[in-house]
């Protein structure tokens, strides 16, 4: 990421409004004491002059807002378009400004939706003359959602500043022709709410640094499970059925679904004889038996570290122990382990459960741990169990997997140096939720997001350094998307903090090894 030349100070922000009526409507939205609404004038030449004036200011951020023409037939007057990029029409005479990419559009969309607006994100195109008829059709064919007469030239003055562009649709025909005055009033009425949303964006443009926790994202068990499904699709063709989510991540599941994987709740939902994959979280013996009864060619994508816990559960139970499984009720991994010996395994979810649990023989007690729990939480529970059952037997090695431990250590170290932490992961991902809790234990606010669009700008108001981590089931590409979005708030550097290096690999099941 290049080093910008803008001063380190956060000197407020400028909101450009081409028309006086737009400027007046935006001022009613109270863009905040640090925000200046600047009436810039309509058209290319006035916008170029205004951009030169803005360039020499030390404003911390630059936004353009006003009305525009809708290019998508689905847009209606009053709908809002948040620009993902702003470009000049290809036929513009003379020097054309470069396309301005606006990475924070998804976050700004969320802020505007909170204001009650109907919002779309996509390209905005600027022309140097009114666009009518066939011209608008040509612009719509480029994928642009809205057209205006100023944004490309006004944002040419954004330099290295965080920038944003919001246009409220005033018409979906010729740009602001006389018959659209009623639609224009509808569009202008939305601008105060636009200003309020832009204020949230501007308050978050204090961001200067992203600190990336490493390791993060996919672990070896997740990579193996995803590859099992991909190989099964290659070998057998779609559909390939997967019991439950292969890993707990919406992006992974959506991608594999597009490629022909079918995710089902149980093996009873799989057509008899169809290729079936067991997820990375493992299954109980009862599920394996049900699959065999339906003659399902099953491929086991269970993480080897989860398989280890299953093996320990059987061994302890066969030894006559009461097995205390530390985990979360309803999690697929926990359900699978409980199924190894339901009569001998008891679930311990917290310290309270550890204090209350009763066993048949206090001298024959062992414990196991769900692989994705927080290390500190488990230590507290085990301490209580050891005090109650001095002969408590432990697993031969840690059940919490290396990836969980490493990611928790990394996020703890990063959180201590940040004003806020974002953890990329889906809501049903246990290890991702634990990362949020670990960061919060350092006293740093932390938030779980499924992607960049999930970032609430209010979390980042006044933040200068934000930490980013990701659960073991979150794709690295989503982390890259988040970092890119944060650059739209002024993040000038993205530095990596490595707590430990990982080089673990797991062999594929024999069914897909070729």
CB 104 within 8 A of CB 489: yes
User: Of all helices (H) and strands (E), which one includes residue 47?
Assistant: helix 44-55
User: Of all helices (H) and strands (E), which one includes residue 278?
Assistant: strand 276-278
Query: In whole angstroms, what is the distance from residue 433 CA to residue 424 CA?
Result: 10
Buried b (16+ CB within 10 A) or exposed e, 463-497: bbbbbbbbbbbbbeebbebbbebbbbbbbbebeeb
Burial class (CB in 10 A: 0-12, 13-18, 19+), 361: exposed
Annotation says 333 is catalytic: yes
| DSSP code for 373 | S
**Distance between alpha carbon 346 and the CA centroid of its chain, in Å?**
35
Query: In whole angstroms, what is the distance from residue 302 CA to residue 305 CA?
Result: 8
**Pairing of the two strands 80-88 and 100-101:** antiparallel
Which of the following is catalytic: 312, 333, 340, 481?
A: 333
Query: In whole angstroms, what is the distance from residue 474 CA to residue 432 CA?
Result: 8
* Spatial CB neighbours of 172, under 8 Å, sequence gap ≥ 6: 69, 70, 71, 73, 75, 76, 77
| Sign of the dihedral through C-alpha 300, 301, 304, 305 | negative
CA torsion, points 498, 499, 501, 504, in degrees to nearest 10?
Answer: -130
How many residues in the chain?
A: 514
Complete edge-to-edge strand list for the sheet that includes strand 465-470: 446-449, 420-424, 465-470, 209-214, 493-498
Degrees to nearest 5, angle at CA 445 with 440 and 446 = 75
**Catalytically annotated residues:** 333
């Amino acid at each position: 990421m290049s080093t910008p030349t803008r001063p380190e100070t956060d000197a407020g922000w400028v909101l450009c409004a081409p028309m006086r009526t737009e400027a007046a409507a935006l001022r009613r939205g109270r863009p905040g004491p640090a925000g200046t609404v600047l009436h810039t004038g309509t058209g290319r030449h006035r916008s170029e002059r205004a951009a030169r004036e803005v360039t020499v200011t030390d404003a911390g951020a630059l936004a353009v807002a006003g009305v525009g023409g809708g290019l998508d037939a689905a847009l209606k007057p009053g709908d809002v378009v948040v620009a993902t990029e702003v470009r000049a029409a290809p036929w513009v005479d003379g020097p054309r400004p470069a396309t301005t990419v606006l990475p924070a559009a998804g976050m700004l969309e969320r802020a505007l939706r909170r204001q009650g607006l109907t919002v779309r994100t996509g390209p905005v195109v600027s022309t140097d003359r009114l666009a009518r008829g066939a011209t608008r059709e040509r612009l719509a064919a480029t994928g642009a959602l809205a057209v205006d007469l100023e944004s490309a030239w006004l944002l040419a003055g954004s330099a290295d500043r965080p920038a944003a562009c919001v246009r409220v649709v005033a018409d979906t025909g010729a740009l602001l022709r006389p018959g659209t005055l009623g639609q224009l009033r509808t569009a202008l009425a939305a601008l105060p709410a636009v200003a309020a949303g832009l204020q949230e964006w501007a308050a978050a443009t204090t961001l200067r640094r992203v600190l990336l926790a490493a390791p993060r994202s996919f672990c070896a068990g997740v990579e193996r499970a995803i590859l099992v499904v991909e190989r099964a699709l290659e070998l057998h063709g779609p559909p390939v059925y997967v019991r439950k989510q292969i890993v707990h991540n919406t992006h992974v599941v959506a991608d594999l679904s597009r490629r022909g994987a079918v995710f089902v709740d149980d093996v009873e939902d799989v057509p008899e004889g169809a290729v079936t994959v067991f997820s990375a979280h493992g299954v109980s013996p009862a599920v394996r038996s049900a699959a065999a009864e339906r003659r399902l060619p099953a491929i086991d994508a269970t993480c080897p570290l989860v398989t280890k816990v299953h093996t320990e559960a059987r061994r302890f139970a066969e030894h006559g122990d009461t097995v205390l499984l530390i985990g979360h009720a309803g999690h697929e991994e926990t359900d699978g382990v409980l199924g190894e010996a339901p009569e001998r395994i008891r679930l311990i979810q917290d310290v309270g459960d550890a204090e209350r649990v009763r066993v048949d023989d206090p001298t024959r007690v062992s414990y196991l741990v769900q692989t994705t729990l927080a290390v500190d939480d488990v230590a507290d529970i085990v301490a209580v169990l050891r005090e109650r059952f001095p002969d408590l037997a432990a697993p031969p090695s840690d059940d919490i997997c290396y990836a969980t431990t490493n990611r928790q250590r990394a996020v703890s170290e990063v959180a201590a140096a940040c004003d806020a932490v974002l953890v990329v992961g889906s809501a049903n991902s246990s290890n991702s939720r634990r990362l949020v809790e670990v960061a919060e234990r350092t006293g740093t606010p932390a938030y779980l997001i499924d992607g960049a669009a999930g970032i609430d700008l209010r979390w980042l108001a006044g933040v200068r350094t934000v930490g980013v981590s990701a659960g073991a089931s979150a794709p690295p590409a989503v982390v890259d998307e988040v970092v890119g979005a944060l650059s739209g708030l002024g993040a000038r550097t993205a530095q990596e903090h490595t707590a430990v290096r990982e080089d673990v690999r797991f062999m594929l099941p024999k069914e897909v090894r070729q």
